[in-house]
Structure 1
Amino acid sequence: MSPIQNRPLTDLPERCEVLVVGAGPAGSAAAQWLARAGVDVVLVDQHRFPRDKVCGDGLIPDAHAALARLGVLDEVMDQAQPAQHVGCIGPRGGRVDVPGTLAVLPRRELDQILCRAALRAGAKMFAPAHFEATLNDAQGRVSGATLSHGSDRREIRARWVLLATGAVPQALIAAGVCERQTPSGIAMRTYIRNPAMAERLRALDVVWDRRLRPGYGWIFPCRDGVFNIGVGVANSHRSGADGRHHKLDVNLRQMFASFCEFYEPARELLAGGELQGPLKGAPLRCTLKGSAFSRPGLLVTGEAAGSTYSFTGEGIGKAMETGLLAAESVLAGRRADDAAVRDRYEAALRALQPRFALYERANGINAHPWLADLVIWRAQRSARLRERMSGVLNETSNPGTLLSLKGVKRLFLE
């Protein structure tokens, strides 16, 4: 794969039609869609590409659909490790394999493909470029941004700014759209190379156990005998009596060590494998909460807008989807006023919120692992329940019904 040309900040133009801040899945998807339509797009990222990104790297059906829309699915699958199942493993060792269209590709490679596709469409990339602040006109409308690298600072004017800066809140704060600085969740992962286990670990395994409460562990197979292994807590911060969000007493390193001790495949993977890098952690923003979706002249998209699902921690597909929604809103309103663009975009995100709320409701399985045992036990005996679980993965079934009181009662009738 040829390297992306990271243009220096000194070459930054004075203006463009749309400035996209952040070249992850949401930002690159938006930049490509806009550039395809002939929009003058500048795409910036605070890191030089290729760059690492802490993630589970799993591509579930919604990600496949977005990649197909962007015309890069074949290119992604040429480098990804395909899989046919998500393996759900309960505290008592029960297992059920849920079928789906799945793959694993490290974000270093995925983001490179998405960014390159945006450049092929006509977007111009500048990195490293740190977002400092918005530029505002006399009426307070965002009209561009101040970017920096080291001591060098540059201003660029834009008709629209799309903020796709991920879960870290600093850019949201600087843009005046942050509603909650604390994240929704936290995760930690590393890569281990162990070719001897490549045939044994072929599914995207997700493990629940009381020793991982209120989270879960995972092992996802990459290519060439490499595995993404990690732990996460999708609801790591709770609202306190003072109205502020506080972090739960969770130590991800201890969780990871416990996972690799009690779960035999993880223990074997680590014992017979070679670490490919250090353990790295990252925050998550879930459930389309934590920031305003827009302000005049600016749209917030991707994980900056909370595009990660609470229950599964999956966010790649929804990040691309929200990036495309932002781009479509800008394109539809090129000859309209700000309000029309913002109204269209915010309405599109609100239309997604009920599904995000269902995944937040289903997050109870992480806090109560015995529910995983119950669901898995019944799914081993019920083809209909396995179909419903596959529907959750494919977003054709309601995840909340599996864990509601009514849903639990239905488990005994499946």
Structure 2
Amino acid sequence: MKSSPGLMAAAADPVAPVPQACEVLVIGAGPAGTACAQSLARAGFDVVLADQQLFPRDKVCGDGLIPDAHRALERLGVLDEVLAHARAATHVACVGPSGGRVEVPAHLAVLPRRELDEILRLSAIRAGVRWLAPARFDAPLLDPGQQVIGARLALPDGAPRVPHALRARWTVLATGAASVPLNSAGLCTRRTPSGMALRGYVRNDAMAGRIKGLDVVWHRALRRGYGWIFPCAGGVFNIGVGITHSRADVPDVNLRELFATFTRLYAPARELMEGGEPLGPLKGAPLRCSLDGAKWSRPGLLVAGEAAGSTYLFTGEGIGKALETGMLAAQAIAEGRDQRLGDAQVRARYEAALHALKPRFDAYEQANRINNHPWLADLLIWRARHSESVRKRLSGVIEETHTPRNLVTAQGLLRMLLPSA
């Protein structure tokens, strides 16, 4: 997937000396890391943002920006720039196993992560963040009392990479779903992922006017997950499949076979692939969901974004909540400085903020029953097609004004069947 010429031109970074110390070291330049770094730089902190890859870089994702992401991007001051590059959409098209379809209105956009993350990174640099890449996180630096005082990073100066110690008052780990960095930091409580996804990009100009919303497809052959087609700008589509699962029930699924099944059983997906031009290979990635799988902090260190499990289990959406957790980490650190709080108080504030988000993540975990039992999607779609009230409830789930838990409880299902609902 190619970035726009403007982004590519802006991506050239001046050569800077490798930093030795900073106030805050943020490791990982995805949405959580860049949101945290930019917020702290605006508050006057000396921040280093490090990533193991040079930018712009590709990232496996559905690329959908739902309303919580829009709100977070607006707080960061980049929403207009993001929307200028994105493909806007006005609905999610939900398609059930029996072929029923309902379009749920919402404020949406699609922008490949290669472009979104570069916009966020450049915005952080403009705010005063110092950039360091490629720099792989190896382990935390510890003082005699086992408090984190920075990190050991591997820099590309020959082979093998040369270790570099970068000291920091605070370290924020925003390294995504990979378990290795969490394990190295002594924070991993679950090595297996909460889900897996596989996606590719396809250019098909003939279908650009046909698929205008975000298609999400449930089917018995896709049990435990779903397929999707999300339209990007320029006649390009993000197409993929994902599965989710509980800690104790990790399925043995071949995602490439699942993708082939999706493109065979869903006619628009089949037409998209048969008449389109693939833009690179299919790529897969793990998911960490439900704010589960890692400790959220240790002395001197906070965990943000998907490393903390900031992806919704039911939908696999995580950009908005990753941005939010990054800003919450920045807020806790800034308040700690301004109010002269101790390490334990800062960490307690941050963890309390994540705990406040947990009920919503738990609701999405309960709604994940729809992925496990696709007939529920048929029921919801059938009812929504005949009820404006139900469509509004589904729209409210996307807008975060309604909880998805009510979609799958016994009472919620009964309401769906009532003519007055």
TM-score, normalised by the number of residues in structure 1: 0.97
Work out whether 1:60 is the aligned partner of 2:66: yes
Q: Partners in 1 of 2:279 and 2:147 — Cα distance?
A: 46
Alignment of 1:3-402 (within 5 A): 3-6=10-13, 11-150=17-156, 151-235=161-245, 238-239=247-248, 247-334=250-337, 335-402=340-407
Q: Partners in 2 of 1:282 and 1:406 — Cα distance?
A: 36
SS of the residue aligned with 2:290? Answer: coil
CA contact (8 A) 1:6 1:48 kept: no
Q: How many Å apart are 1:371 and its aligned residue?
A: 0.4
CA contact (8 A) 1:54 1:281 kept: yes
Aligned to 1:406: 411
Moved over 6 A (4+): none
Q: Partners in 2 of 1:19 and 1:249 — Cα distance?
A: 38
SS of the residue aligned with 1:313? Answer: coil
Question: For residue 266 of structure 1, what is the amino acid of its counterpart?
Answer: A
CA contact (8 A) 1:47 1:127 kept: yes
Q: 1:340 to 1:251 in 2, by over 3 A?
A: same
Deviations 1:155-187 (A, max 9, x none): 110000000000001110111111111110000
Q: Partners in 2 of 1:61 and 1:133 — Cα distance?
A: 36
Q: How many Å apart are 1:263 and its aligned residue?
A: 0.5
Q: How many Å apart are 1:238 and its aligned residue?
A: 3.6
Q: Partners in 1 of 2:13 and 2:257 — Cα distance?
A: 38
Q: How many Å apart are 1:4 and its aligned residue?
A: 2.8
Deviations 1:133-157 (A, max 9, x none): 0001111100010001342221110
Give the count of matched residue pairs.
406
Q: How many Å apart are 1:44 and its aligned residue?
A: 0.3
Q: Partners in 2 of 1:396 and 1:115 — Cα distance?
A: 30
Q: How many Å apart are 1:262 and its aligned residue?
A: 0.9
Q: Partners in 1 of 2:12 and 2:49 — Cα distance?
A: 12
Q: Partners in 2 of 1:4 and 1:340 — Cα distance?
A: 38
Q: How many Å apart are 1:194 and its aligned residue?
A: 0.1
Q: How many Å apart are 1:336 and its aligned residue?
A: 1.5
Question: For residue 146 of structure 2, what is the amino acid of its counterpart?
Answer: G
Q: 1:144 to 1:5 in 2, by over 3 A?
A: farther
Q: How many Å apart are 1:270 and its aligned residue?
A: 0.5
Using the aligned pairs only, state the percent identity: 62
SS of the residue aligned with 1:199? Answer: coil
Q: How large is the RMSD of aligned CA atoms in angstroms?
A: 1.0
Q: How many Å apart are 1:358 and its aligned residue?
A: 0.2
Deviations 1:257-278 (A, max 9, x none): 0000110000000010000010
SS of the residue aligned with 2:120? Answer: helix
Question: For residue 114 of structure 1, what is the amino acid of its counterpart?
Answer: L
CA contact (8 A) 1:6 1:126 kept: no
Q: How many Å apart are 1:250 and its aligned residue?
A: 1.0
Q: Partners in 2 of 1:13 and 1:275 — Cα distance?
A: 41
Q: Partners in 2 of 1:85 and 1:271 — Cα distance?
A: 25
SS of the residue aligned with 1:165? Answer: coil
Question: For residue 342 of structure 2, what is the amino acid of its counterpart?
Answer: D
CA contact (8 A) 1:88 1:97 kept: yes
Q: Partners in 2 of 1:23 and 1:189 — Cα distance?
A: 21
Q: How many Å apart are 1:379 and its aligned residue?
A: 0.4
CA contact (8 A) 1:86 1:205 kept: yes
Q: Partners in 2 of 1:253 and 1:6 — Cα distance?
A: 37
Q: How many Å apart are 1:11 and its aligned residue?
A: 2.3
5+ residue gaps in structure 2?
A: 1-6
Q: How many Å apart are 1:7 and its aligned residue?
A: 6.4
SS of the residue aligned with 2:202? Answer: strand
Q: Partners in 2 of 1:6 and 1:132 — Cα distance?
A: 24
Q: Partners in 2 of 1:272 and 1:149 — Cα distance?
A: 43
Q: How many Å apart are 1:340 and its aligned residue?
A: 1.1
Question: For residue 255 of structure 1, what is the amino acid of its counterpart?
Answer: L
Q: Partners in 2 of 1:149 and 1:251 — Cα distance?
A: 35
5+ residue gaps in structure 1?
A: 240-245
Question: For residue 396 of structure 2, what is the amino acid of its counterpart?
Answer: G
